[in-house]
Amino acid sequence: MSRLLRKERILLLIALAAACGKDAEINAPAGTLAVGAYAPLSYDDTCKLHALGGKVPAPPTCIPHGVTEVLEFASSDPTIADVVAAADVPLDDDAASGYYVFGKGPGQATLTFKGRFDDGSVRQATTSVQVKVPDSIKLRAVCWDGYPVANVMLPAGDEIAFTIEIYAGEEQLVGWLPNAITGDGVALGEESAGDSERPFVWQSPVTPTSVQLQSAYVSNIIGSLTAFTQSQVTDIRMSVYNEDYRNAFNKPEGADGTASFSVPTSVIVNGQPSCSALPAELHSATPAICSGPNGEMAWGTSWWGGYASARAEGTCTLSASMQGGPVVATQSFPVFFVSDGLGLTGTTDPCTVEGETACMVGHAGAGLCRSGAWVAEPHCPADQVCDQIPGTAAECVPGGTCARCRGLVDGNAGP
């Protein structure tokens, strides 16, 4: 490379770095701000934002610079969106610093930042903020099973954290509303690094009650906080049988000739699941077919549910109650003992004999071998299971595995 070309390249790189280093940017809330809400604002060198993974592309020659003095941070219309110092925001956080935008009225305003940077330059950036009046607030609590709910059903005396969502019609707004909702036992929770917004905490009373929630911002609050006692439980759901997995066992697992299966439970009060998992009590009406882990006819569970033992093929009938309470749910389902055989993990498993069949894992259905690959057959009926049968049966393809759906063996249908 000639000396002249090298000099021109150096000058070009210097020019790019200088041009990149003269930009600034404001990071405003992504979304429409609610009237009455605060949202944090940040400002920085565009090059630094790019270096930190920001959204603005920049050449790799950028030299980041820091802000040494804020010369101006203002709104084109403070009656719509006003810029306020963090010290003036009711955050209950002594460490708060920087600036926030405060939604005062519906409309759109332009925010302008001007600052001096450590390279001596004075830079300016603008951004627009949209503000709307909220008309509803929705509660959002994540229950023990990982699902979010708006209506919180909690055992009396328990505590739960929840957040709120702010809406204007169907549009979800952004920002933090001071004292967005109030109610007996409701308080602002502790902020943690993993929280996208500061949560609320509800300490439910030791007696059953439903909290009357209020808000100074909206009249429509979607969601509720209700505390219940065990005597109010109306149902206990038992998840023991589904479309994909049947209670099918290849052979007894225990020394006493039994096999164990799980019985997950969830507590229901007037059709609404509890947001906290609770221990229950299981009862067997068919101890010859199924019982407690140690042969019990009644046994307690843990917070998520418990285990039962399959003792013989047939119809198992289990009931559930709160510990020491009356039975509130009963469920009957088949228990199968099936032959050892090939268990397919999916239709990607290879097969070798055209037309052979095999049971899928869970024994809910069979697979059929076509052109060297398994094709899933329809699931067995709800009261049946897939079972391996001897390959010598008339319906089987010679040299291949063989399976079919079947019901309970005659005489094992239970009471």
- Annotate 238-294 with DSSP letters as a single string: E----SSB--EESS--STTS-EEEEEEEEEEETTEE-SS----EEEES-TTTEE-TT
pLDDT in tens, 364-396: 888 899 988 888 888 899 899 999 988 888 889
CA contacts within 13 A on the Cβ side of 394: 0
Answer yes or no: CATH 1.10.3470 is held by domain 136-228.
no
Confidence of residue 201 (pLDDT cuts 50, 70, 90): very high
Identify the pLDDT of residue 342. Answer: 63
Query: What is the distance between the alpha carbons of residues 209 and 207, in angstroms, rounded to a whole number?
Result: 6
Q: How many helices (H) and strands (E) does the chain have?
A: 2, 34
Residue 261 and residue 276 in contact, taking contact as beta carbons nearer than 8 Å: no
Q: Integer distance in angstroms from the first to the last C-alpha of the chain?
A: 95
At which residue do the structure tokens 């709120």 appear? 164
What six digits make up the tokens of 65?
């610079």
- Give the model's pLDDT for residue 345: 64
Amino acid at 353: V
Look at residues 152, 146, 164 and name the one whose alpha carbon lies nearest to residue 272. 152
Residue 50, pLDDT > 60, answer no
pLDDT of 42 reads 84
Burial of 363 (0-12, 13-18, 19+ CB in 10 A): buried
**Quick one: tokens of 356?**
């052979």
How many Å apart are CA 343 and CA 378, to the nearest integer?
16
CATH number of 232-337: 2.60.40
Evaluate if residue 141 carries a pLDDT over 60: yes
Supply 317's token pair: 């009938």
Spell out where 51-185 has E strands.
Answer: 67-75, 81-85, 99-103, 107-117, 122-132, 136-142, 148-149, 151-155, 159-168, 171-173
User: In the predicted model, is pLDDT for residue 315 greater than 90?
Assistant: yes
Q: How far apart are CA 255 and CA 311, in angstroms?
A: 11
Average pLDDT over residues 179-201: 81
Is residue 361 very low, low, confident or very high in pLDDT (cuts 50, 70, 90)? confident
Report the chain's mean pLDDT, rounded to a whole number.
85
Inter-CA distances, 270 with 153, 154, 228, 402, Å: 10, 13, 11, 47
225 or 51, greater pLDDT = 225
pLDDT in tens, 329-346: 999 999 999 887 666 766
Query: 54-58, 168-172, 239-243, 338-342: lowest mean pLDDT where?
Result: 54-58
- Cβ atoms of 259 and 309 within 8 Å: the answer is yes
Exposed/middle/buried for residue 316 (C-beta within 10 Å: 0-12, 13-18, 19+): buried
pLDDT in tens, 113-135: 998 988 888 988 899 999 999 99
Residue type, 313: E
Q: Tokens 């400002």 label which residue?
A: 43
Residue 369's beta-bridge partner residues?
A: 374
Check residue 121 and give its pLDDT.
Answer: 86
Find residue 74's DSSP bridge partners.
112
- Percentage of the chain exceeding pLDDT 90: 57
Nearest to 26 by CA among 47, 43, 45: 43
Tokens for 347, please give them. Answer: 């239709």
- The Cα–Cα gap between 300 and 293 comes to 10
* Token couple for 386: 């897939």
- The pLDDT of residue 161 is 94
The pLDDT-based confidence of 17 (bands split at 50, 70, 90) is very low
Q: What is the spatial distance between Cα 125 and Cα 44, in angstroms, rounded to a whole number?
A: 9
Contact 54, 39 (CB under 8 A): no
What CATH architecture does domain 10-132 belong to? Sandwich (2.60)
Rounded CA-CA distance 128/109 in Å is: 6
Span(s) in the chain for CATH 2.60.40.1080: 10-132
Is the predicted pLDDT of residue 280 greater than 80, yes or no?
A: yes
pTM of the model as a whole: 0.77
